[in-house]
Amino acid sequence: MASISMITNAVRVVLRAVTAAAAGVAAVVMATSQEMSDAFVFGFQMEAKFQYSPSLVFFVIANAVACAYSLLALIVPLESPAARFVLMADVIVSMLLSGAIGAAAAVSDLGKNGNSHAFWQPICGLVETFCQHVGGALISSLVAVILCFLALIYSIYALTKPTSSTESQPQP
C-alpha cells in the first residue's frame, strides 16, 4: 500500500483523540457521580452512587476501555497489516459503547421517571446532581460512539481508496 497522505492521517488522529477524550470524560463523570440526599427513606439517608447499579458500572468500564483503545489505535499506522485488525476492533468497541449507553440510559430513565407498574418512585427529585452527572456522562458517551463510528468509516475509506502511484494509472 502506498503511503497515506498527511491529511488522511491527521483526520484519523483527530477522530481517535476526540473519541478517547469523550469516552474518558464519560467514564470520569460517571465514576465520580455520588450524592447524599437530604431526604430520609425508611429512616435512612438516601445515597446515590454509580456502583449501586451494574448497568452504570458496565458503562464506566466500557467507556474506559473505549478511551484506552482509541489511544492505542493511534499507534497503529494505516499502512500496517494490523490496521485491518483495528477495523474489527472498532466495530467491537462501537458495539460495546452502544450496549453500555443503552443500559445506562434505561437506568437513567428509571431514576427520572420511576416505574408506575412496579410502584417504583423516581429518585431524581431527591438526588438531582447525581442524575445530572449521569445525563452528562450519557451525552459524552454518545458523542464518543458517534465519533468511533466515524473513525471506523474513515479508516475503511483510507484503507480502500485508490493510490496515486504510477501502477494504478493506465499506460498510453
Q: Give 83-100 pLDDT, tens digit per residue.
A: 889 999 999 999 999 999
Cα–Cα distance between 53 and 2 in angstroms, integer? 49
pLDDT in the model for residue 24 = 98
Q: Where do the domains of the chain lie?
A: 6-160
**Residue 76 per-residue DSSP state:** S
Of 150 and 80, the structure prediction assigns the larger pLDDT to 150
pLDDT in the model for residue 165 = 52
Beta bridge partners of 34: 49
Q: How many CB atoms lie within 10 A of CB 171?
A: 5
Of 51 and 63, the structure prediction assigns the larger pLDDT to 63
Share above pLDDT 70 across residues of the chain, in percent, rounded to a whole number: 88
At 140, list the grid cell: 459524552
pLDDT in the model for residue 166 = 44
Q: What are phi and psi of 170, to 5 degrees?
A: -70, 145
Nearest to 104 by CA among 60, 59, 66: 59
